[in-house]
Structure 1
Amino acid sequence: MNSRIEYIDRLKGFAILLVVIGHFIECNVVKGYLHPLYSFIYFFHMPLFMFISGYVAKKYLKVELAKPKEAFTFINKKIRSLIIPYLTWSLLIPMCFLSYNFKFDLFSRFEYLIFHHTYLWFLTTLFYLSLLFLVYEIISKILLKFKGGRILCITILYITTMFLYHIFPNVVIKSIFGYFPFYFLGVIIAQFKRAEDLYCNKIAFGIFTIAFLIIPVHFNYFETEFYRIIKAIVSFAAIPTIYYLSRFMRWNTIIDNQIQLWGRNSLVIYVTQWNLLHIFTINLPLYTSTFSLILVSFILSLFIGYACILIGNVIKYSPIIDLLIYGRKSK
């Protein structure tokens, strides 16, 4: 599909900006994970990205994935756009450019990349969720004759994922299990107009916005079971708020164009920014005021993001490198 949907690019642009700001705080503030701004962002920014991914997967789908040929094409595309960049940044680049401290053991390295998280964990989690989406598309065709067949299919897949997590409780399956609801929320909103009308209307926007802005103020972000529940609540409130603003709000043309530019380059920014952030470090103290940190992190995150886009535009001139680093197929 060549034409792009503007509000989706806005959503992606806003989400990737939050990712860069969050990583900036993590890399540049002493014990940045304790800062309120970090906590606020980390409550919802990756669930938002997963929602967008599920929404895009269904919204842009124009083929019958139940057909073997289309299913193979779908898997091939996901390997190209997600797994190849993941392996390049996690394996080839460290081996070629960081060889002075990179111990190469093919088996152990692949084992680590498959069963553990790296800073590019989002790519592998999204790949596995995309495979579950493929299974959903295939099974839901069989269950169409039953009322609520699609919801039943999602429920079965979620229970299966939960079962696997309890049998094999590693971080990869935990991540798939944790982000499954947000990814498939995006699928449902894209597929069912009624669901979108119920979840993303003006009244819901007002209620969810209040919850989204108030709840995170009273909690810091920590990886505990209680805070995962709070994170889920905040995320389910944040998603319709940001979706509604991206789709229905009138935007300044200049700002809108830049947000969409970031959205179109979200993958480029995501895989590149972590390395740039480790080049430019300023070590701000934890007691930095929230306003000052917002100002500094926003300005420097813009610089990092545009640097990533520039790098991506240069890489385009080499189709092979572009494929390896960003998973993009030359036109």
Structure 2
Amino acid sequence: MQAKTENRNQFVDIMRGIAMLLVVLQHTMSGCTVGAENTFVFNIAWSLQMPLFILISGYVTKYSRPISNSKGLWKYVKRRTVAYMLPWAVWSFLVRGIIFEEDGFLNVKHLLWNMDSGYWFLATIWTISMIFGIASFIAERVSKENLLKKQTVLLGCYLVGMVLLVGIGAILGLSFFAIKLTLYYMPFYYAGFLYGQFDDRMKESEIGKKIIDSVVAICFVVWLFVILRFPLYEMSDGGFAIILRAATSLAGCIAVCGLCRGIFSSKIGGGYSCMGRRALVGSVSHALSASQLDQVGQSADSVQSGGAEPGSGQLCGYGSTYCDGNSDDEPKCRAELCINRKEKVSEFLLWAGKQSLEIYMMHGLLLNIFKSSVAIQFSSIEGYLLTAGNFALTVGLCAVVIRLLGQNAVLKKVLNIR
């Protein structure tokens, strides 16, 4: 499948950004404090982060072209290998192994059988992509016209790929090349792909929208119910625990995607940004007319990031409206400032989503800088402050390093900085 780069779905990048920030948060909690693994916050982050990444990766296959011949399959394999395994090799051997002198990353055998000590996600997503790409190629060749037959063949080939992985794992061990993790996350990838096939059709009808809302609501309740009662991360790897984890994570991902879609639109910086008319009217103290809402939406880009709150006696950016807390234009100011805040949050998440690979590769190295020599309990004021501070510093440093490395063409190419 040859991916299209035009008309990029920005909501997908926002969800990637949320997932990536959850990864950093979880690693900050477990790396900088003790006792975080059995807390509610850790349960939230752990149940969503990687499952959400994999689910989104499956979803975006809807924007790919079918693989109709062997030449297209070769291009697909080459492109995905370069995109995933080249960064894995460079950051594992060159950066972590040679530059930072982490001996484990220079021991190939140790690394291949202990992928979870490094960048296992890249190996997992590469393996899943290879199996899915080959399955898609076979399905396309067997049946181009009959959609049901094509989907059946694709699913069958995908399951055969899982069986082959089990066979390899039985011989070499499930820890080899992160096979255990790959098998766990393969259903998430297929679930994302499946939803992507029917997403647009469901939204075209009122019944479809009601079904989506109902599913999101049920998934949210189920996810919240489970993570409040079960320490998912600390459960043993028995059959019940694996099924419970997977079902809970899938429900959580569906709930988060569905709820966030109501906050963030698929386009940033235009029209109503991340809020619809109904949500916008609900955010002000007085309902605005349709023409006023249009003016508010069109003027959102002109608001300065340091815009003042209504009542502070400063210009709010809505034309030359003066917000003093008593002005008749206060609803307009509130609406515009609300849009501006939403846009800033959206832009931050969008940045994290677009730079998710770079953040994933370097955040662990940066977190080591802030590790405390004293064990601090997470469930304490000191633990909360340490986690929040280290999280903010790590994300901030990632932004700085990404910006600096991006200024050099050689480093940008070698380290896969976008």
Q: Same fold (TM over 0.5)?
A: yes
1:66 and 2:64 equivalent? no
Partner of 1:210: 221
The structure, 1 or 2, with the larger RCO (C-alpha pairs under 8 Å, 6+ apart) is 1
Partner of 2:7: 3
**Alpha-carbon deviation of 1:153?**
3.4
Partner of 1:288: 379
Partner of 1:192: 198
Change (3 A) 1:112 1:224: same
1:256 and 2:346 equivalent? yes
**Alpha-carbon deviation of 1:163?**
4.1
Which letter maps to 1:124? A
Change (3 A) 1:310 1:74: farther
1:224 and 2:224 equivalent? no
Distance 1:199 1:19 in 2: 32
Unaligned runs of 5+ in 2: 265-273, 275-341
Distance 1:30 1:175 in 2: 25
Partner of 1:165: 169
Contact 2:84 2:123 in 1 (8 A): yes
Distance 1:104 1:185 in 2: 33
Within the candidate set 242, 248, 268, 1:234 is matched to 248
Q: How does 1:73-222 map to 2 (within 5 A)?
A: 73-99=75-101, 102=103, 109-117=107-115, 118-144=117-143, 145=146, 147=149, 148-171=152-175, 172-193=178-199, 201-220=212-231, 221-222=233-234
**Alpha-carbon deviation of 1:93?**
1.8
Partner of 2:29: 25
The structure with the largest alpha-carbon Rg is 2
Contact 1:80 1:323 in 2 (8 A): no
Partner of 1:247: 261
**Alpha-carbon deviation of 1:4?**
1.9
**Alpha-carbon deviation of 1:296?**
5.1
Distance 1:82 1:93 in 2: 16
After superposition, the C-alpha distances for 1:59-92 in whole angstroms (9 at most, x for unaligned) are 3313x32323322222222222211211122111
CA RMSD of aligned residues (A): 2.7
SS of 1:32's partner is coil
Which letter maps to 1:286? Q
**Alpha-carbon deviation of 1:265?**
0.8
Distance 2:164 2:54 in 1: 19
Distance 1:69 1:182 in 2: 28
Larger helix share, 1 or 2: 1
Change (3 A) 1:159 1:170: closer
Distance 1:21 1:166 in 2: 34
1:47 and 2:90 equivalent? no
The alignment's TM-score, normalised by the length of structure 1, stands at 0.86
Could you tell me the percent identity over the aligned residues? 22
Contact 1:51 1:182 in 2 (8 A): yes
SS of 2:371's partner is coil
**Alpha-carbon deviation of 1:319?**
2.7
Distance 1:52 1:233 in 2: 16
Which letter maps to 1:314? L
Contact 1:200 1:244 in 2 (8 A): no
Change (3 A) 1:186 1:198: farther
After superposition, the C-alpha distances for 1:212-269 in whole angstroms (9 at most, x for unaligned) are 1121111112242243222112111111111112333354111111111111111111
Contact 2:405 2:417 in 1 (8 A): no
Range moving further from structure 2, 161-170 or 317-326: 161-170
Distance 2:361 2:198 in 1: 32
Distance 1:104 1:239 in 2: 32
Change (3 A) 1:69 1:96: same
SS of 1:33's partner is coil
Which letter maps to 1:44? L
Range moving further from structure 2, 192-201 or 213-222: 192-201
Which letter maps to 2:121? F
Contact 2:14 2:349 in 1 (8 A): yes
Change (3 A) 1:287 1:15: closer
Change (3 A) 1:94 1:271: closer
Change (3 A) 1:292 1:209: farther
1:305 and 2:395 equivalent? yes
After superposition, the C-alpha distances for 1:187-229 in whole angstroms (9 at most, x for unaligned) are 1112233688599710111111111112111111224224322
Contact 2:223 2:251 in 1 (8 A): yes
Which letter maps to 1:116? N
Range moving further from structure 2, 85-94 or 291-300: 291-300
Change (3 A) 1:305 1:200: farther
1:320 and 2:410 equivalent? yes
